Amino acid sequence: MKMSFRWYGKEDPVKIEYIRQIPNMYSIVSAVYDVKVGEVWSNESINEIKKMAEDVGLTFEVVESVPVHEDIKLGLPTRDKYIANYCENIKRLGKAGVKCICYNFMPVFDWTRTQLDKIAEDGSTSLVYYENQLKGKNPLSDDMNLPGWDSSYKKEELKELFAQYAKVDEEKLWSNLEYFLKAIIPVAKKAGVKMAIHPDDPPWPIFGLPRIITDEKNLDRFLKIVDVEENGLTFCTGSLGVAQKNDVVRMIDKYSKQKRIHFMHIRNIKFVENGFEETAHNQHAGSLDIVGVLKVLHKNKFDGYIRPDHGRMIWGETGKPGYGLYDRALGANYINGIWDALDN
């Protein structure tokens, strides 16, 4: 496995020099952030990230994310222009040495939590999802802005998007995804890039918008659409693991054997009556079998990228929710420790 760490670029309060000091760190996971969704990334911006990584002795081999324009997910006639731009980005990133691109196919909203700073018994804070905090809320009328959501949408734009999605059910979303994959995967193959779709987080519909990258049956369906290695997965334990039907250890065993997992997001969560809470990465902090996950990856000689996903806020750190330095560094080293033990 190759250890990696998400870094939001120059604006990130976490310094890249500090990331370098985490034992066994290999690659940053980053993106060009100052370009609108759907546009082409400049070679200068891509190479600048690469240089910043290499200057401290790291690599830049993973992009998270090249976001997919809503017109592609909606299947609008304008999608071809955005798909052409997407392909151009894949080519440019491949040329710059990027080996893996993470993206998602969630309509409108990315990951959803209801609170960012839930205080735990030990005084740390973390992200949580409580059903009762979501109930009765309407993103179109309430002045709500949940973490992970693209806050650049104005209410009017959101209304328009929701109206357009009224015509997109799950099957339509599948066919729009198929159209997209059939266009981009051959380009990725040529560029030496592995595409790694991120599961929907949480893996169920939010506010009536369809979500399809949610469980084993659908992952099987996804992988068959273009049945080559380059069409692969970001396996996020914390996203898929919050649906109790998803046996993440067994699924990871299966998909890593098939060489279809290119990127692992390791995060633990704890089931509570009303939803779930994010915890430290450690086995006993939450409900997921993190050791079991690493065991099957090790057994299957997983040589893709792993990053510690969301950390808690600890030791007085303030910063981007889920993406501080300290707890993610603890998570990385927890993963390192288990991996070393398995090696030996």
- Catalogue the active-site residues: 198, 236, 265, 309-310, 323
Nearest residue to 284 via CA among 268, 307, 297, 272: 268
Instruction: Decide if 36 contacts 95 (C-beta within 8 A).
Output: no
The CB-of-68 to ligand DNO minimum distance in angstroms stands at 8
The CB-of-110 to ligand DNO minimum distance in angstroms stands at 5
Q: Tell me which residue has its CB nearest to ligand DNO.
A: 65
**Which of residues 24 and 65 has its CB atom nearest to ligand DNO in the complex?**
65
Nearest residue to 56 via CA among 11, 14, 1: 14
Q: How many CB atoms lie within 10 A of CB 190?
A: 13
**Which of residues 103 and 180 has its CB atom nearest to ligand DNO in the complex?**
103
How far apart are alpha carbons 99 and 219 in whole angstroms? 22
**Which of residues 104 and 336 has its CB atom nearest to ligand DNO in the complex?**
104
> Which residues, at least 6 apart from 113, have a Cβ–Cβ distance to it below 8 Å?
127, 128, 129, 146, 147, 148
**Which of residues 267 and 295 has its CB atom nearest to ligand DNO in the complex?**
267
The CB-of-200 to ligand DNO minimum distance in angstroms stands at 8
The CB-of-341 to ligand DNO minimum distance in angstroms stands at 27
96: exposed, middle or buried (Cβ count in 10 Å: 0-12, 13-18, 19+): middle
The CB-of-324 to ligand DNO minimum distance in angstroms stands at 12
**Which of residues 257 and 320 has its CB atom nearest to ligand DNO in the complex?**
320
The CB-of-141 to ligand DNO minimum distance in angstroms stands at 25
**Which of residues 265 and 312 has its CB atom nearest to ligand DNO in the complex?**
265
The CB-of-155 to ligand DNO minimum distance in angstroms stands at 22
> Which residues would be at the binding site for ligand DNO (CB under 6 A)?
64-65, 102-104, 110-111, 148, 198, 265, 310, 322
**Which of residues 30 and 104 has its CB atom nearest to ligand DNO in the complex?**
104
